[in-house]
Amino acid sequence: MNRPESAAALFEELRPRLVGVAYGLLGSVSEAEDVVQDAWMRLQRTDADAIDDLTGWLVTTTSRLALDVLRSARVRREAYVGPWLPEPVETAPDPADSVSLADSLSWAMLVVLETLSPAERAAFVLHDVFGLTFDEVAETLGRTPAGCRKLASRAREHVERRQPRFDVDPDEHRHVVEAFSRAVTSGDIEGLTALLDPDAVLTSDGGGVVRAARNPVRGADKIARFLTGVTLRYDDFHHRVTTVNGGPALLTVVGGEVGGITLLGIADGRIVAVDMVRNPDKLTGIHEVHRPR
């Protein structure tokens, strides 16, 4: 096998990891795949024989490209219609088809990562999630290893402050998700209100493409009435429990097509966050049944 062929083979072998790195930085499957394709195009224009560590080069190049996209994406998201949520990735039934390490990139973590600066997010994702050394992170960010260590430390503290309250036993999480589904589909406002924390927040991301709440819905009673009201609009509506980013979630199916993904944040047995991803452009990581046209 000659050098170009071996470089192509290595790239294909690393592709899931590269997409995972880009997804961790961007929270978008489609943007992550575009970044990895761009890295491949750059490799084709580069003398692979002159690269001592091709794996390192691919990871660094992918990370830099993703960081550039992230910086510009933050500006674009300011003009986004309604709340912006990350793209979910279905990690069942075949994890091999999912973004690499999507189980490590839990939904709760992805949501928290959106509150970090691009540099903090990159340092945390590359070091804490994907195991790069701070020397490697420094090469990506154009900073000193010590500076990257501080960035990762700040990000870690922020993530640990926000995420622990969502650490729930998987069986308990699934039980709450199933109870939530039964209450929503049956129109049980009282039962749904009992599942929700009084200060719960519902965030719905339709991106201006499909109907969704333009602002967060706050409070158990308002959320329960909103959700049961939405359900009444559809005749052929049901949920299927699936696994998204390593945790249980609800796939909403309307007329045989994916209508969205609902993810729940749970603390002390109560639902404190309801995240609904309804923008069809963000459902590319969902593999089963047909997506909306």
Q: What CATH number does residue 211 fall under?
A: 3.10.450.50
Distance CA 60, CA 204 (A): 34
What's residue 291's pLDDT?
37
Residue 90's nearest CA partner among 82, 102, 101, 81 is 102
pLDDT tens column, 152-169:
999 999 988 876 566 678
Residues 206 and 123 placed together within one structural domain of the fold: no
Q: How far apart are CA 290 and CA 60, in angstroms?
A: 36
Q: Does residue 207 fall inside a structural domain? A: yes
- Phi then psi dihedrals of residue 215, to 5 deg: -130, 155
Residue 291 covered by a domain:
no
Instruction: Single out the residue in 129, 164, 199 at which a domain terminates.
Output: 164
- Residues 42 and 132 placed together within one structural domain of the fold: yes
| 133 and 214 fall within a common domain | no
**143 and 189 share one domain:** no
Residue 104, SS3 per DSSP: coil
- The residue range of the domain holding 127 is 3-164
189-245 pLDDT, tens digit per residue, is 999 999 999 999 999 999 888 888 899 999 999 999 999 988 877 777 889 999 998
Last residue of a domain, one of 106, 138, 164: 164
Write down which residue in 131, 164, 197 finishes a domain. 164
- Which residue, chain included where needed, has tokens 């080069």? 57
Per the domain annotation, does 13 fall within a domain?
yes
Residues 127 and 83 in one domain: yes
Give buried/exposed letters for 157-190 (b at 16+ CB in 10 A, else e): ebbeeebeebebeeeebbebbebbbebbbeebbe
**Same domain, residue pair 154 and 178:** no
Q: What is the mean pLDDT of residues 181-195?
A: 95
Instruction: Summarize the confidence of residues 105-125 as an average pLDDT.
Output: 93
Same domain, 39 and 74: yes
183 lies in the same domain as 138 = no
Q: Which of 115, 116, 108 is nearest to 263 (CA)?
A: 108
pTM reported for the whole predicted model: 0.86
Looking at the structure, do residues 85 and 199 belong to the same domain, yes or no? no
pLDDT score of 269 more than 80? yes
Residue-level pLDDT at 287:
59
Three-point CA angle 284, 290, 293, nearest 5° = 80
| 204: number of Cβ within 10 Å | 26
Question: Which CATH number belongs to the domain containing residue 156 in this structure?
Answer: 1.20.140.160
Is the same domain home to 125 and 160? Answer: yes
Instruction: Report the alpha-carbon angle 161-124-104, nearest 5.
Output: 80
Band the pLDDT of 22: cuts 50, 70, 90: very high
Task: Clarify whether residues 11 and 51 are in a common domain.
Answer: yes
Q: Indicate if 116 and 65 belong to the same structural domain.
A: yes
Number of domains the chain contains: 2
